[in-house]
Amino acid sequence: MKPCFASIPIQASLSQSNSPVKSWLELHKQCRFTFTALQQIALSRLIPLLICGEQSSQWVFYNEKERFRQSPSASENDIVDLERIVSDEVYHEKALLYVLEQLPTPDDINTIRRRSQLFFAGLGKQLTIEQHYAQIACLDSWVCKLMLALEKSTLPCSHPFVSLCRCIKQDEAKHVSIAKKHSKQSALTKEQRLRLFDQLTQKLHKLLSTEKKAFLTIGVDIDTLFITRTN
């Protein structure tokens, strides 16, 4: 699949990552994954959405890390936190691409890619830095919920793709807490945070609903997932 967003100049700092996805890749580097024909079709439509999100996250956190580098008040710890997230996201992308390479390519892959590209490119527009981080915290918490739903899908719990979802979920939970820290939530009122959360939730629900059938094929009802709203 053609990338949704260009690669970031990161290779040198990949060692920053403690992501469990690194070990997952090592463990499965010779693995041919077993899926039913229907699961293959469904995942070949869903994984591109996830990959596009991973590529977008890399740019968000890479740009933020560069901004911090220029700022005299930024701590070294903050920069390391951001570098680690960028490298985690690179590993997520690599692992998802590795699975995707073993799946058929949908005829409308360009439409799927374009749709998610528009969604992610629209995030952060006209937002303050605090709002942007609050939105990232919200988005990554939805990724955690989605990964959990995929873990509980009709795929066997011992399936390597399920263990990949579990590994990504662990990283995203860490990203949520770092993004929350940077959003300096005190700068936003509860109402402002709720509004951001609701707006992003609606847009994400709309994007994922375009693949409702593929989600259902692997046992995930996207509408039920989005009924539960949390703060």
Residues of this chain that interact with Fe ion (CB under 5 A) are 54, 57, 89, 92, 140, 172, 175
- Shortest Cβ 64–Fe ion spacing (Å): 12
Q: Which of 42/168 has CB closer to Fe ion?
A: 168
Answer whether 134's CB lies under 8 Å from 177's CB.
no
- Shortest Cβ 72–Fe ion spacing (Å): 27
Return the structure tokens found at 210.
């375009």
| CB-facing half-sphere around the CA of 190: CA atoms within 13 A | 2
- Shortest Cβ 146–Fe ion spacing (Å): 11
- Shortest Cβ 118–Fe ion spacing (Å): 19
Q: Which of 104/122 has CB closer to Fe ion?
A: 122
Give the Cα separation of 48 and 62 in Å (integer).
21
DSSP code of 75? -
Q: Which of 130/171 has CB closer to Fe ion?
A: 171
Q: Which of 42/136 has CB closer to Fe ion?
A: 136
Q: Which of 81/172 has CB closer to Fe ion?
A: 172
Give the Cα separation of 195 and 175 in Å (integer).
21
Give the Cα separation of 9 and 89 in Å (integer).
13
- Shortest Cβ 176–Fe ion spacing (Å): 8
Give the Cα separation of 168 and 19 in Å (integer).
8
DSSP code of 123? T
Q: Which of 181/213 has CB closer to Fe ion?
A: 181
- Shortest Cβ 86–Fe ion spacing (Å): 10
What count of other Cβ atoms lies within 10 Å of the Cβ of residue 85? Answer: 28
104: three-class secondary structure by DSSP: coil
Give the Cα separation of 86 and 221 in Å (integer).
30
